[in-house]
Amino acid sequence: MSLIRALDHVNIRTNDLAATKALFVDVLGLSEGWRPPFPFPGAWLYAGGKDVVHLVGVETAATSSDGSALDHFAFDIGDFDDALRRIEATGLTFRATATPGTSVKQIFVRDNNGVTIELNWKGDRPRG
């Protein structure tokens, strides 16, 4: 039996908390919710009742995920066309692709911090 049950959340350090929060809330549809009273700025963003993205406000920008040991993180999405429309409207750098031999369509988008986010629409044949 695996010790890990599920991925709990991702944490992003950002020197532009407002822009980062806007991407996840206004574009990707997460909602801001309860966060402990930490002595530093930030936000906890929720999908349904679960906090899935933690944002921490910092003064100095961190390095991008490009070329780092942690390359990206991914979300399962319910509507590929809507997600693509929303991402296109942001002006952020992205790439849409399909996974060979499956029905999976993906969008890789880079946020204002240089973090790569993968959005997966699985379709009817996610495993080929």
The predicted structure's pLDDT at residue 34: 98
Q: Is residue 3 located within the same domain as residue 54? A: yes
The predicted structure's pLDDT at residue 8: 95
Q: What does pLDDT average to over the chain?
A: 94
The tokens for 94 are 């992205």
The predicted structure's pLDDT at residue 126: 84
pTM of the model: 0.92
Whole-number Å distance between alpha carbons of 82 and 96: 13
The predicted structure's pLDDT at residue 120: 95
Q: Is residue 86 located within the same domain as residue 45? A: no
Q: Using CA of residue 106, residue 111, residue 116, residue 46, what is the dihedral sign?
A: negative
Q: Is residue 79 located within the same domain as residue 117? A: yes
The predicted structure's pLDDT at residue 82: 96
In this structure, is residue 83 part of a structural domain?
yes
- Name the residue range of residue 52's domain: 1-58
Residues of the chain with pLDDT under 70: 128
Residue whose structure tokens are 């929720």: 46
**Number of domains observed in the structure of the chain:** 2
